[in-house]
Structure 1
Amino acid sequence: MTASLQGRKIVVTRPRAQAARLASWIAGLGGQPVIFPLLEIAPAADPEPLQAAIARLDSYSLAFFISPNAVDFSLPSILASGPWPAGLRAFAIGQSSLASLASYGIANTLAPVAHFDSESLLELPELQRQFVGGQRVVIFRGNGGRELLGDTLRERGAQVDYVACYQRSAPADAAALASLLRGGQIDAMTISSSEGLRNLVDLLDASARASLQETLVFVPHQRIAEVATELGLQRVIRTGPADAGIIAALSVYNWQS
C-alpha cells in the first residue's frame, strides 16, 4: 500500500464504535487519524418500545435496520428472547448494517448496493407497493431521524412501527478539536453525518468555526455536502459511499493543490 496520505492529519468523526476501520485505512496510507466522534451513541432511555416490539416480532413481515447501531442495540435483546422469526425479512440501508446482521446470524437480508440511503433502499423491487401493501413493518433506529422510509412505506400500504433502540447525542464539548482547527493542524476531516456536522458547528466558537469553513472536508453523501455548504464550508469533496468511498477519495486527492 502506497503512503499517499503520508503525514496528513485527518479527523474521523464516525461514532466511536464505527471509527476504527476508516482510521486504520488512513494510518495504512501513512496518515495520522484523529478520532473525534460527532455523535455519542447510547442505549435508548426508554427500553419499553424495544421490548414491546420483541414481544410481537413474529407479527411483522419486514424489519428495517437504519444503521449498525440499530443492529447492535436491538439484536442481542431480540435473540435473547428467542430465535429470529422465520417469516421476518430483514433489510438494511448500508453494507455495514448488512454485515452486522450477518454477524448475528440473520440471513436472507437485503440492502442497496450502490448508494446507501433510504431513497436507494426504497427502490428495491421487494419494497414496491404490490409487495409491501398490507404488510406489518418495524423500523429499528435511533431517536428521531428522517421519516422518508416509514412515510413512503405507509404510502405504499404498509403498517409501520418505529422502534427507537438507541439514542444519539452531541459530544459534551469540542475543545480539543477546536484547538487543532485554530492552529491549522488538520489537513482534512471526514464527515459521515449531517447531524454530526451540525453538532460540530454548534460546539465551535467563532474562530474555530471560521477555520472549519476553510478546512478540506470529505463527505460520502450529497445530503451531507448540501448541509456543509449551507453551514459555510468552502472546501467540500463529495466521495463515493461509505468508508471505502471516503478512503478512495482521500488517497487520490492532490494534496499539493
Structure 2
Amino acid sequence: MTLPLAGVHIAVTRPPEQATKLNAAITAAGGAVISFPLLDIASLPDLTAFHAAITPLSQFDWAIFISSNAVHYGMPLLQQASLPASLKFAAIGPTTTSALHEYGVAQVLTPKDRFDSESLLALPELQQMQGERVLIVRGVGGREVLADTLKQRGAEVVFGECYRRINPQADAALLAQSHSAGQLQGVIITSSEALRFLLDLAAGSAWLQATTVFVNHDRIAEQAAAHGLSVASAGQPGDAAMLQLLTRHFTPAT
C-alpha cells in the first residue's frame, strides 16, 4: 500500500519545538519534512512596560490572550501580580484556551468555529463593553482590530506585550535549492507573521510562485493569495486538519 504522502517534501515553518507532532504525522504518512522555522519566540529583555501596564491588575474586567505564547509568557507574570477573582478570561482559539487551562483558568470565552479576532468580537459577551477595562496580552505588535473594535464599543483597552517574534532565517536558499532538486512540493504556514517573514525572504521568487502554501486559517490564505501565491487552507487549526489537507491535495483522484 502506497502511503498518501510518499515522495512529497514539505517545508514546515513552525518553531521546531512546536512542530514535533506535525512532523511525525507527515513522516508517518510517507512524506519528508524540511525544517525551515520562520518564527521564533523570544522573551523581552525589559518587562518594565508590561508590569506598568498591568498594575494594578484589579483594574481590569477582562484579560484577552491572542495566542498560546501570550499565555505561556504572560500568565506567570499575571499570577505574580495576584489574579483578582473577578477577572474574566477570553482566548482567540482552543489552543490558547487549553494553555490557560494549564494555568488553572477554568472558564475561558472562546469562539466556536473560526478562530480570530473577528470571531471573538462576534460573541455576545463582548458586545456591550461600555466602561469595561480590557487587558490584551500579546507579543510586540500585531493586529489592531480587536483593540479598535472594543474601544468603539466603549471599553478601555491596555496592551500587555510580553514577548517578541523574530525570523531566525537569513535567506531562503534552502527552500530554493530544494525546489530546484524537485524536493519541495509545499510549504506549511500557520501564522500571519511566518507568512510575512517568508515574503520578506522570497517574494517574487519563481520557486515560491510555483509551490503550494498550506495554511490553517482562511485569513492567512487570503493574505497569501493577495501576493499571488498558490494556497490551500485547512480552515481550522490543529495538526490533524493540516495532515488531512495535505493528504487530500497529494492523493490522486480516483
> Same fold by TM-score, threshold 0.5 exceeded?
yes
Deviates most, 89-98 or 44-53: 44-53
- The equivalent residue for 2:236 is 241
Matches within 5 A, 1:3-14: 3-14=3-14
Counterpart-to-counterpart distance in 2, 1:110 and 1:30: 38
8 Å CA contact 1:64–1:139 kept in 2: the answer is yes
Counterpart-to-counterpart distance in 2, 1:91 and 1:245: 24
Which one of the candidate residues 189, 196, 199 is aligned to 1:198? 196
- The equivalent residue for 2:156 is 159
Task: Figure out how many residues of one structure are paired with residues of the other and give that number.
Answer: 250
Q: Which runs of 4+ in 1 moved over 6 A?
A: none
SS of 1:162's equivalent in the other structure is strand
Per-residue displacement from partner, 1:196-229 (whole Å, max 9, x unpaired)? 12211222386xx211111122112222222222
Counterpart-to-counterpart distance in 2, 1:133 and 1:20: 43
Deviates most, 71-80 or 152-161: 71-80
8 Å CA contact 2:66–2:96 kept in 1: the answer is yes
1:250 aligns with 2:249: no
Counterpart-to-counterpart distance in 2, 1:95 and 1:59: 26
- The equivalent residue for 1:175 is 173
Deviates most, 39-48 or 9-18: 9-18
Matches within 5 A, 1:48-197: 48-82=48-82, 84-129=83-128, 132-173=129-170, 174-197=172-195
RMSD: 2.1
Amino acid paired to 1:180: S
Report the alpha carbon displacement of residue 54 of structure 1 after superposing the two structures with TM. Answer: 4.0
8 Å CA contact 1:44–1:165 kept in 2: the answer is yes
TM value normalised by structure 1: 0.89
Aligned-pair identity (%): 45
Deviates most, 183-192 or 157-166: 183-192
Counterpart-to-counterpart distance in 2, 1:172 and 1:252: 30
8 Å CA contact 1:27–1:33 kept in 2: the answer is yes
Structure 2: unaligned runs, 5 residues or longer: none
Amino acid paired to 2:212: L
SS of 2:196's equivalent in the other structure is helix
SS of 1:137's equivalent in the other structure is strand
8 Å CA contact 2:218–2:233 kept in 1: the answer is yes
Amino acid paired to 2:110: A
Counterpart-to-counterpart distance in 2, 1:95 and 1:211: 34
Per-residue displacement from partner, 1:59-113 (whole Å, max 9, x unpaired)? 111001111111111112222343x321111111011111111111111112112
Counterpart-to-counterpart distance in 1, 2:162 and 2:190: 21
- The equivalent residue for 2:22 is 22
Counterpart-to-counterpart distance in 2, 1:205 and 1:175: 13
Amino acid paired to 1:8: V
8 Å CA contact 1:61–1:136 kept in 2: the answer is yes
Per-residue displacement from partner, 1:95-154 (whole Å, max 9, x unpaired)? 11111111111111121121110010111111112xx22111000111111100000001
8 Å CA contact 2:93–2:116 kept in 1: the answer is yes
8 Å CA contact 1:50–1:74 kept in 2: the answer is no
Structure 1: unaligned runs, 5 residues or longer: none
Counterpart-to-counterpart distance in 2, 1:12 and 1:250: 12
Amino acid paired to 1:240: G
Counterpart-to-counterpart distance in 1, 2:176 and 2:37: 13
TM value normalised by structure 2: 0.90
Which one of the candidate residues 228, 241, 247 is aligned to 1:232? 228
